[in-house]
């Protein structure tokens, strides 16, 4: 909400040159949604506008109060989440918000095409509470995650393969062994472990079939698109028609994988360990949670960043 309180004014002219932008960013990050501050300067701070836009996205309002020639004053307000913005778009802009959505059990990757208002309505969450939690996430420190949105697509695709596909490949045999073992040893006392093992086997085999499709077909095509755009050449339509087709298929498979993990979460009451849990039981639950976290981040990078950008790219490159 717009406040009637006195708005703090930051006199940038008295700051050391190297301190100006960090001080402004810090002040901005400490704002709650709806709050504002004023910067006072002796020249047009327009470069700051672009830096703020690049690093914080469309999360602020920029209003000139004085426009020179000697005094320049700009009121910078932090916007409340936009009505139409989806949770997936919000996470794409600022990955720190992912933690908040996860905490509230909100799916920001497979089901990320909904607005905050919609998910609050569906989950019975107070919208104000969620918005407050999201704005707090803004001050939780700038992280390297923000860079994903700025990377070249070829680099992002390689990152996904080297970090996330590699993780999945390494985690599958370990988790397959652990889930099978605890089902065998504890299944009579905790029959849900048999179901957990089945759901894990499902998600493992789905991902083992899914990732090679990305690595051999989709990601190389995205790299070709980016290359073509750089070299200003046009490409003929690929055998699969448009990139929308494999993307639809990948997104459907992501959703299936997400459903399997959601089933495991429900069966284990959010990974609550029983009193008689042994070391393997404990490690299995920890590792399954790690697997889920990694997969959510992995799918987020694909569904919310890589795929939408590749779709845009294709429009300008195909004959």
Residue numbers of the site for Fe ion (CB under 5 A)?
214, 302
Residue 302: CB minimum distance to Fe ion, A: 5
For Fe ion, the closer CB: 48 or 295:
295
For Fe ion, the closer CB: 214 or 226:
214
* Tokens representing residue 76 in the block: 């910078």
Residue 207: CB minimum distance to Fe ion, A: 8
Residues contacting 260, CB < 8 A, separation 6+: 199, 200, 202, 203, 206
For Fe ion, the closer CB: 94 or 214:
214
Residue 99 contacts residue 137 (beta carbons within 8 Å): yes
For Fe ion, the closer CB: 94 or 302:
302
Residue 164: CB minimum distance to Fe ion, A: 6
What DSSP state is assigned to residue 75?
Answer: E
Give me the residues paired with residue 11 across strands.
Answer: 40
Q: Is 189 exposed, middle or buried (0-12, 13-18, 19+ CB in 10 A)?
A: exposed
Residue 301: CB minimum distance to Fe ion, A: 8
Q: Is 271 exposed, middle or buried (0-12, 13-18, 19+ CB in 10 A)?
A: middle
Residue 215: CB minimum distance to Fe ion, A: 8
For Fe ion, the closer CB: 156 or 197:
156
Residues contacting 182, CB < 8 A, separation 6+: 193, 197, 280, 281, 284
């Amino acid at each position: 909400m717009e406040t009637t309180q006195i708005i703090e004014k930051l006199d940038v002219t008295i700051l050391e040159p190297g301190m100006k932008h960090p001080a402004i960013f810090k002040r901005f990050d400490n704002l709650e949604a709806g709050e504002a501050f004023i910067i006072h300067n002796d020249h047009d701070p327009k470069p700051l506008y672009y830096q703020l836009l690049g690093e914080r996205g469309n999360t602020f309002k920029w209003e000139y109060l004085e426009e020179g020639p000697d005094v320049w004053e700009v009121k910078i307000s932090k916007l409340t989440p936009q009505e139409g913005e989806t949770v997936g778009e919000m996470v794409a802009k600022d990955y720190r918000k992912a933690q908040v959505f996860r905490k509230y059990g909100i799916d920001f990757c497979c089901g990320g095409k909904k607005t905050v208002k919609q998910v609050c309505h569906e989950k019975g969450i107070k919208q104000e509470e969620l918005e407050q939690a999201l704005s707090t996430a803004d001050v939780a420190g700038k992280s390297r995650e923000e860079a994903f949105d700025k990377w070249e697509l070829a680099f992002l695709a390689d990152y996904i393969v080297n970090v996330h596909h590699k993780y999945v490949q390494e985690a599958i045999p370990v988790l397959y062994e652990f889930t099978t073992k605890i089902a065998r040893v504890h299944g009579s006392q905790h029959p849900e472990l048999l179901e957990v093992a089945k759901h894990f086997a499902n998600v493992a085999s789905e991902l083992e079939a899914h990732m090679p499709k990305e690595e051999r077909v989709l990601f190389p095509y995205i790299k070709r698109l980016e290359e073509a755009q750089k070299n200003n050449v046009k490409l003929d339509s690929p055998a699969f028609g448009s990139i929308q087709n494999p993307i639809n298929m990948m997104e459907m498979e992501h959703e299936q994988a997400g459903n399997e993990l959601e089933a495991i979460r429900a069966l284990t009451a959010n990974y609550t360990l029983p009193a008689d849990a042994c070391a393997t039981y404990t490690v299995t639950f920890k590792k399954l949670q790690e697997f889920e976290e990694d997969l959510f981040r992995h799918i987020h990078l694909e569904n919310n960043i890589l795929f939408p950008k590749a779709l845009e790219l294709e429009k300008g490159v195909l004959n």
